[in-house]
Amino acid sequence: MSRNLLILGAAPDLGELRDTLVRLEDTIIFALIERSQFKHNSDIYKAGKMHFKDGYRGSFVSWFLKEVEHVHAKVRRYNSPDEYPFTDNLPEPVLPPLEYPPVLVDPQNININDEIFNVYVNTVVPGITSDGDDKNYGSSATRDIECLQALSRRIHYGKFVAESKFQDPKTHDEYVRLIKEKNRDRLMELLTNTRVEELLLKRLKAKAIIYGQDLSAASLDANGNINNGCSLLATTASADASDERVKSRVNYDLVVSLYRDYVIPLTKEVEIEYLLHRLD
């Protein structure tokens, strides 16, 4: 279990961070499954499709996200160093501030939520939903916000990952030298662990297949146990070797590509930007 950020006295090690990131994988997969039950409902992402009494001119999702973040800001959600809003000009908290130990250097300076929002709306949503409009605008937007907030937290955790790597005595001097040289390419090489990334993608595919199973259709014995209970794991293990598609509530290949093409690269972008300002 990862340590509470309120009592964190130093940068967490990579093992502790891994526990948090693995749990966020679960959060993201389940959030995607929940969103996929509704149609695309593309009108909620288009500016000007809906009219708001407050004069707001953006999309319904953007308006709803703004309203939610205004409430969350009042209970100091975005005072936490691992939470980043999509909205500007948020109100001050009504609760007294909490004093977080200064683990990160200028933690709020880097925020790439605009990129995350664009990837989610233009790539993720069309990939996990069916075409059409079922009028479930509020429910769809609620699930969208859950997905966006989980993705943002996961990607911006790259700051903690970068700080942990920077503090590692084995590589600290090398990081300092490369930061002073502003050598982005070499920093990227140093912080990249290809083996860990490959294992992460395999784990994600297994989770997406298993979590996405519709067990209501499973055959149960008289005691309520799933017949051939090992079939889920067997299916997962053979997924790479077979062209047969596993029926799932979420496209598991899209989950993998989301991480491979966006979450991992964007996390690295956060890490690089953080490191380049680490010595400021």
Catalytic residue numbers read: 18, 154, 165, 193, 197, 267, 271
CA distance 114 to 119: 9
In the block, residue with structure tokens 């999309």: 59
- Measured CA to CA, the distance from residue 180 to residue 178 in angstroms comes to 5
Residue 187 to residue 126: CA distance in whole angstroms: 34
Query: How far lies 218's CA from each of 110, 225, 226, in Å?
Result: 46, 10, 7
Q: At what angle do helices 194-211 and 231-238 cross, to 10 degrees?
A: 140
25, amino acid identity: E
> Taking a C-beta distance cutoff of 8 angstroms, is the pair 160, 271 a contact?
no
Most distant CA pair in the chain: distance in Å?
68
CA distance 243 to 87: 43
Angle at Cα 278 formed by Cα 188 and Cα 16, nearest 5°?
70
- Other Cβ atoms within 10 Å of 236 Cβ, number: 19
Question: What is the DSSP secondary structure assignment for residue 13, as one 8-state letter?
Answer: P
Residue 75 φ/ψ, nearest 5 degrees: -105, 25
